[in-house]
A = this chain, B = another copy of it.
Amino acid sequence: MRIGQLAQLVGVETQTIRFYEQQGLLPPPDRQDNGYRVYTEKHGERLAFIRRCRILGLSLAEIHELQSYQDDPHQPCTAVNALLDDHISHVRSQITALQALEKQLVSLRASCNDDREVEACGVLAGISEGNMHQQ
């Protein structure tokens, strides 16, 4: 299987595959005589794993960590669960922060309507005056 086929199979761009290889997330495949990369099913599975992790919002470093656990399958999976727990609490704090931000933005927006000049704009005044909650 060449790089283009693998890319289409998993739904990524060829450059992304080369990038993962360069980052050490995907093992370097064998090469044909002409230098073309040749992939096996194992590569396909590994690439799909990476992509699913990315969809879950894991960083490449975290994926790397997960792979290192997979390479040593007889240790307890405590660290895997801890990694996920950390990620969940990270996502939750992002949500909390964004909700607070939304509230702030909505109240800022409410301080103006469209019938004013920039000079009298409630939104710009609101930002400029700096009566904002910290963080």
Contact = CB atoms under 8 A, between A and B. Distances in A.
A21 interface: no
B109 A102 contact: no
Given A69-B124, A132-B52, A84 B109 contact: yes
Contact of A94 (B48, B98, B106): B98
A108 interface: yes
A13 interface: no
A127 B53 CA distance: 7
Given A53-B127, A74-B117, 13 more contacts: A49-B128, A52-B127, A56-B105, A73-B118, A75-B117, A77-B112, A77-B116, A80-B112, A80-B123, A88-B109, A91-B102, A95-B95, A95-B102
